[in-house]
């Protein structure tokens, strides 16, 4: 009976040592995983700020694009100004006569 008890104790010691080693490995893995989570959260925050900045820039560009004159508007304005300049030249010529 004593030999059987000794075998059981040895088996328990071996299993306990194995469990402690596995526990230590799992603790190390958990620590590494927590560190990786912190790094990923920082990256996520940095990227979210970049997305917000780009969205704001995109909105500004949309507003500027909608406010800027179209090609036909620019041509119409040039034609109007050219007509006004001709009218002014005629008035100056009439005053000179």
Give CA–CA dist 90/96, Å, rounded.
10
d(CA 84, CA 80): 6
Give the pLDDT confidence score for residue 44 in this predicted structure: 98
Claim: this prediction has a pTM higher than 0.75: no
The distance of Cα 14 from the centroid of its chain, to the nearest Å, equals 52
Domain that holds residue 24: 2-96
What is the pLDDT of the chain when averaged over all its residues?
91
Per residue in 46-84, pLDDT (tens digit) is 999 999 999 999 999 988 877 777 788 788 889 999 999
Condensed to tens digits (0 to 9), the pLDDT of residues 9-39 reads 999 999 999 999 999 999 999 999 999 999 9
Counting the structural domains of the chain, the total is: 1
Contact by Cβ (8 Å): 8, 1: no
Give the DSSP H or E segment for 1. Answer: none
């Amino acid at each position: 009976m004593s030999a059987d008890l000794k075998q059981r104790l040895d088996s328990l010691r071996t299993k306990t040592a194995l469990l402690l080693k596995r526990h230590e490995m799992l603790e190390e893995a958990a620590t590494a995983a927590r560190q990786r989570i912190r790094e990923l959260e920082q990256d996520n925050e940095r990227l979210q700020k970049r997305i917000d900045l780009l969205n704001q820039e995109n909105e500004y560009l949309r507003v500027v694009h909608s406010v800027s004159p179209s090609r036909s508007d620019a041509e119409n304005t040039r034609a109007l100004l050219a007509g006004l300049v001709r009218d002014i030249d005629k008035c100056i010529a009439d005053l000179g006569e």
